[in-house]
């Protein structure tokens, strides 16, 4: 039984469960559904299904995903994959390519998601600009709660060498029409010079910057523009973000689509 569980939940997630959910570093296997791997069409990132996942066999998607994953250097995604999440982002970006407006990522890390997207949509053959915003040094305590800081550490996002990560991202995107903005949201939002946005990805792991980004970009989003909230659907560990996102959506008289990848999707009316 333990070996079966280990195959389904990679070491990084097992360690997180031990630290966050289970006392005394123990896991009660009766609390889990153990699935027959031969019948699973997709089993990654806490998402397991028998439904169609043919996008994982698409050569162009495979190339794009691998280019994104290669930016990570094995720091977070060595034994962990997020292909369906990247698939959602590539789909949203493909739609946004047919609209007026630029692209924005709030929360970049090594550029995993953005690198996959720019390849998938052939970004350089457009007249769009891609703005990448990140501290490149983890959460800023000024805009984060004690719980958010602790959770980020439990999930493996410890403080990193800001210059090293920033320079790595600059090197990754040097051949693309990308503006890399270093610093904390909301302080850096005014550096996004575009007045029309068609694609917005938000993944900052804390409430205050994410709500600030939604408020700042909402009026700049073009009709049909795509907003993907990376942590919207997580249970327990990030429900503070979901509550804040829902309150924002309610203020705009819209609803957020919950995706089984843990993401939330907003299409600007």
**Global pTM?**
0.88
What are the domain boundaries of the chain? 54-267
Q: Rounded mean pLDDT of 169-180?
A: 97
Going by pLDDT thresholds of 50, 70 and 90, the confidence category of residue 5 is very low
Q: Rounded mean pLDDT of 137-161?
A: 83
Q: Rounded mean pLDDT of 176-197?
A: 98
User: pLDDT at position 11, please?
Assistant: 57
Say if residue 56 is exposed, middle or buried (CB neighbours under 10 Å; 0-12, 13-18, 19+).
middle
Going by pLDDT thresholds of 50, 70 and 90, the confidence category of residue 1 is very low
**Stronger pLDDT, 208 or 30, i.e. the higher one:** 208
User: pLDDT at position 2, please?
Assistant: 46
Q: Are 125 and 131 in contact (CB under 8 A)?
A: no
Class of domain 54-267: alpha beta
User: pLDDT at position 25, please?
Assistant: 54
Q: Has residue 250 got a pLDDT over 60?
A: yes
Cα distance between residue 245 and residue 234, in whole Å = 13
- pLDDT > 70: percent of the chain: 86
Going by pLDDT thresholds of 50, 70 and 90, the confidence category of residue 237 is low
Cα distance between residue 222 and residue 99, in whole Å = 8
Picking from 49-53, 114-118, 217-221, which range would have the lowest pLDDT averaged per residue?
49-53
3-state SS record for 72-123: CCCCCCCCCCCHHHHHHHHHHHHHHCCCCCEEEEECCCCCHHHHHHHHHCCH
Closest CA to 216 of 181, 169, 165: 181
pLDDT in tens, 18-62: 555 555 456 677 777 777 888 899 999 989 999 999 999 999 999
Kindly report the average pLDDT of the chain as a whole number.
Answer: 89
In terms of C-beta distances under 8 Å and separation of at least 24 residues, what long-range contacts does 48-57 make, across chains too?
Answer: 48/8, 49/260, 53/84, 55/83, 55/87, 56/83, 56/87
| CB atoms inside a 10 Å sphere around CB 103 | 28
């Amino acid at each position: 039984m333990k070996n079966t569980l280990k195959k389904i939940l990679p070491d990084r997630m097992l360690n997180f469960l031990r630290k966050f959910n289970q006392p005394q570093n123990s896991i009660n296997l009766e609390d889990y559904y153990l699935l027959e791997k031969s019948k699973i069409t997709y089993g990654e990132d806490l998402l397991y299904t028998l439904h169609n996942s043919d996008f994982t066999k698409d050569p162009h998607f495979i190339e794009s995903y691998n280019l994104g994953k290669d930016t990570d250097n094995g720091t977070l995604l060595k034994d962990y994959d997020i292909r369906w999440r990247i698939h959602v982002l590539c789909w949203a970006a493909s739609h946004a390519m047919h609209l007026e407006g630029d692209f924005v990522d709030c929360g970049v890390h090594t550029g995993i998601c953005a690198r996959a997207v720019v390849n998938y949509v052939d970004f350089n053959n457009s007249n769009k600009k891609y703005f990448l915003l990140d501290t490149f040094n983890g959460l800023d305590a000024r805009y984060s709660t004690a719980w958010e800081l602790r959770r980020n550490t439990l999930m493996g996002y410890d403080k990193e060498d800001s210059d090293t990560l920033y320079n790595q991202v600059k090197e990754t995107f040097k051949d693309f029409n990308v503006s890399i903005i270093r610093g904390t949201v909301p302080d850096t939002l005014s550096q996004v010079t575009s007045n029309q946005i068609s694609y917005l990805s938000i993944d900052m792991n804390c409430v205050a910057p994410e709500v600030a980004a939604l408020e700042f970009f909402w009026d700049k989003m073009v009709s049909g523009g795509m907003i993907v909230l990376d942590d919207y659907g997580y249970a327990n560990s990030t429900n503070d973000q979901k509550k804040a996102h829902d309150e924002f959506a309610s203020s705009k008289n819209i609803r957020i689509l919950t995706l089984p990848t843990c993401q939330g999707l907003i299409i600007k009316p």
